[in-house]
Structures are given as structure tokens and as C-alpha cells.
Amino acid sequence: MGKKFYITTAIDYANDVIHIGHAYQKVIADVIARYHRLLGQEVFFLTGVDEHGAKVQRAADAKGFDPQNFVDKISAEDQRQLSLLNVVPDRFIRTTDSDHIKKVKEFWLKVKEKGDIYLADFHGLYCEGCEEYKTESDLVDGHCPYHPKLKIEELQEKNYFFRWSKYKDFLKQHILSHKDFLRPEASKKEMLSFLNQDLKDISISRQKQNVSWGVPVPGDSKQTIYVWFDALINYLTGAPQDFWPADLHLLGKDNTRWHALLWPAMLKSAGYLLPRTIYSHGFLSLNGQKISKSLGNIIRPQELVDKFTSDGARYVLVGCKSLADDGDMSWQKITNTYNADLANGLGNLVARLAKLCQLSKLEFIVKAPDFSQVAVGEYQRKMEDYRLNEVLGFIWGKIKTVDRYLNQEKPWEIKNKTRLRSSLQKAVVHVLEIAVLLAPFLPQTSEKIKKIFIGKEIVSCSSLFPRIKND
């Protein structure tokens, strides 16, 4: 494992404030970033917003805002929502940032100098919801499967094209020869299947009269750069040069084609190294429906935090599904999980043990172990394979083990002080290990547990997670 670790998330469209579907990805990334920091690595964690394109331009128009003022408000609120979840990126990038605009123009010129950009007529299908060009085979009953209520636009313009087809064989070979480049396996198979079809060159600009809200094409002020070509470059803009290539691009599976096929081709053309791993995670749905701004069935991060606290919200998000697969949430499921695992599980154990230690009137000399000492074996393997929900299951197995130990030992019945101290101290040591292992997931709770049990005198405490009624 290298000394540096660079992790990115997808950057979210600034047409509206993020919801828990976006927050899921950001919390996962924050957990992974914290894990690598705790191992002593130098970490750079990048997230942000995609502020250009027709989708954002029309959202601003609908609200009666100038596009820049509109994205300023959305960006500020997105950052506030993430901070409530204790998501702490090293940079929150905005595609309107001056250094990003400069980088995009430099990148464009590098690709053009390679001979991979040319001007031609474009005629095709476009989904504004995805900000993507579509083929007939991508559509279901003439509609985008991700935005079925939006009308597919037929575009006809003279645009600049990127020679994507030139990199077909390179992409296929790279995916096949680098086993961790594209994950999970289902995404790899899907992209290889796509490459077995004709990979056509892609339009990477729009006429300014149709999409004015974007980075101007260098040398042609009548065109703006296609929002995806612009947005993907944020991963280069966002981190110090010595962190590239990225160790992990984390994104939703609807963005796989652009990250796994277009982005690597762009990088190859411009002369950059490719990211080490691109991970396309499954969707999070709500009550069996896709979470969608257009459908209005959304939960904001603040709503979760207000009800379950920051750490409680992080727990239910990370634990709700495996990263690779789709998963469904509901307020009832979330509340049941919170009560069972946090209020009755972890919270009850900590309060119970602290009370037993206080009643014993004994002094305990303990300290929390170093993270690198305990983040080993199964915990380490699952973390580095991005099976974060299974890591939580592993930790909760340890919680249950300590509970069983207390039930078997029955320290409340032990009269011998030496034996009682040994019995309780063993439980305290195990709980402190649990606290350390929880640090990437529940950072505030981890610190609270350490403060309770480190010190000669342990006193009883209120529950870390008060039980919540299911509405």
C-alpha cells in the first residue's frame, strides 16, 4: 500500500440540492478516506459539484436566477448538507472554479494537438437529465431508463468531436489486463460488451446559442465544451499533481460508461496516467422507487441527521446495502436498524459496561490500541475490498461477543476485587478496540467511547443513541 491515497466521488449536478442517494456515495468515500488516514497514509479526498450545462442553465432559468448566482446557492447548501454528515473532503471542487476552467482549456488543447478533436456535423439523441448522448439501444420505449419522464431531444449541430473510436482496442486491453481497474465484475462485463459494439466518436461541444452556460471552446467562442468532457477533468484539477493517478474513482453505475470508457480515452489522448480503480456502485432506492429530484421522493441529509444524529445517519447509510448492489430504504427500515444496532446494540453495551465499572468503585488503567494494530485480518480485507457493510457486520459481531462475555462472567456477582477488576478490564479493552475500529464509520461516537473508558475512574453515561419511536 502506497503512502499516498487519492479518492474521488462523482460531482453532482448543481440543478438542485443533494439527497441521500448522493450522500450515500459521499459518506462511503469519507469512510474510505478516514480509514487510509488512520493507517498513516497521506490522503486527498475530492468531491464537489458539476455546475455547467443545459440542465443547470434551465434549472436556473426556471427559478429566475442568473446561472452563477444559482450554482453559488446550490454549492453552498450541498457543502452544508455534507458537513452535517461529517463528510470532510480535502477539496470541494466547483466546475466554475477558475483553476478548473484553466485546466479544461489546457486539456482540450493537448487532445487537439494529438489530432483527436475535429469539427463535423452532429445529429443524435440527447437526454438532458443525464446530460448524455444516447443511442436507440440505450432507450426504453423511446425514453431514457433513468429519466423516463423527460423527452429525448433530437439535436442537429456542427460540433467538435473527440476520436473516441481510436481508443477502442486500447480500452478493451486495459480493462482485461488490469483486474482492479473496473469494479464490480458486472460493470466490467457491461463495458466490455459495449466495446464489442462500434465505439463511435463523440460530440464534445455545443453551440453557444443553445448552451451558453459552459466553458468556451479554445479558439472558438461560438461553442461551449460538452459538460461531461468538462466535468471529468475535475479529477485532475482537484488534487495536487503528486497524487495523480487517482487510486479510486467512486461513482454511481449510471455514470460508468463515461468514467470507464470516455475518461480513460481522454487521459490517454492528453498523455496522463489512468486511475487505478473505477468503482460503480449500485443505486439506493426509497420505498421501492428510484430516488429522483424529478419525482420528488427525496430525503435530504439534514432530515436523517435531525432524527438519527450525524453518526446514526452515517451508520444507516453505509450499512443499508453492499456497495456493488442496489438497495432499498424506508423511514421504518432506517428507524428499526438504528434502534436495533445503535440504541439497543452499541449504545446499550457502552452504558451497561460503564455502569458496572462505576458500581465496582475500582480503578482501571487502560488505553485505546493504535488503529494499525487492530485494523487487520478480516477487517482489513473487507475494507480494502470495499465491502463496508460487511465491515460493520464484523464490528457488530464483536459487540455481541462482549455482551455474551458479560452475561457469562456476571461481574455483578463477583465479590473478589482482583477477579472483578480483571473481568471488567477485559471487557473495557474489547470495547476500546471496537471504538477504534468504528473510527472511520462513526468518528464522533468513537471518540465518545474512548473518553468514557480511558481514565482511572469510569462513570456511567446516558445512552449514546437514544431509542427512537417508529412513526
- Annotated catalytic residue: which of 290, 426, 430, 448? 290
- Annotated catalytic residue: which of 144, 253, 259, 281? 144
Respond yes or no: is residue 19 known to be catalytic: yes
| HEC readout, the chain | CCCEEEEEECCEECCCCCCHHHHHHHHHHHHHHHHHHHCCCEEEEEEEEECCCHHHHHHHHHHCCCHHHHHHHHHHHHHHHHHHCCCCCCEEEECCCHHHHHHHHHHHHHHHHCCCEEEEEEEEEEECCCCEEECHHHCECCECCCCCCCCCEEEEEEEEEECHHHHHHHHHHHHHHCCCCEECHHHHHHHHHHHCCCCCCEECEEECCCCCCCCEECCEEEEEECHHHHHHCHHHHCCCHHHCCCCEEEEEHHHHHHHHHHHHHHHHHHCCCCCCCEEEECCEEECCEECCCCCCCCCCHHHHHHHHHHHHHHHHHHHCCCCCCCEEECHHHHHHHHHHHHHHHHHHHHHHHHHHHHHHCCCCCCCCCCHHHHCCHHHHHHHHCCCHHHHHHHHHHHHHHHHHHHHHHCHHHCCCHHHHHHHHHHHHHHHHHHHHHHCCCCHHHHHHHHHHHCCCCCCCCCCCCCCCCCC
Return the number of other C-beta atoms located less than 10 Å from residue 320's C-beta: 17
- Annotated catalytic residue: which of 127, 259, 268, 321? 127
Contact 263, 191 (CB under 8 A): no
In the block, residue with C-alpha cell 449536478: 13
Respond yes or no: is residue 249 known to be catalytic: no
Respond yes or no: is residue 127 known to be catalytic: yes
- Annotated catalytic residue: which of 73, 293, 333, 430? 293
Q: What share of the chain is helix, strand, coil (3-state, %, to 5)?
A: 50, 15, 30
- Annotated catalytic residue: which of 19, 52, 103, 249? 19
Rounded to whole angstroms, the Cα distance separating 204 from 217 reads 10
Rounded to whole angstroms, the Cα distance separating 131 from 123 reads 15
Rounded to whole angstroms, the Cα distance separating 131 from 13 reads 10
- Give the orientation angle of helix 388-409 with respect to helix 348-360, to 10 degrees: 30
Respond yes or no: is residue 290 known to be catalytic: yes
- Annotated catalytic residue: which of 130, 268, 450, 461? 130
- Annotated catalytic residue: which of 100, 147, 249, 281? 147
For 244, the grid coordinates are 495523480
Respond yes or no: is residue 430 known to be catalytic: no
Contact 424, 360 (CB under 8 A): yes
Respond yes or no: is residue 114 known to be catalytic: no
Active site residues: 19, 22, 127, 130, 144, 147, 290, 293
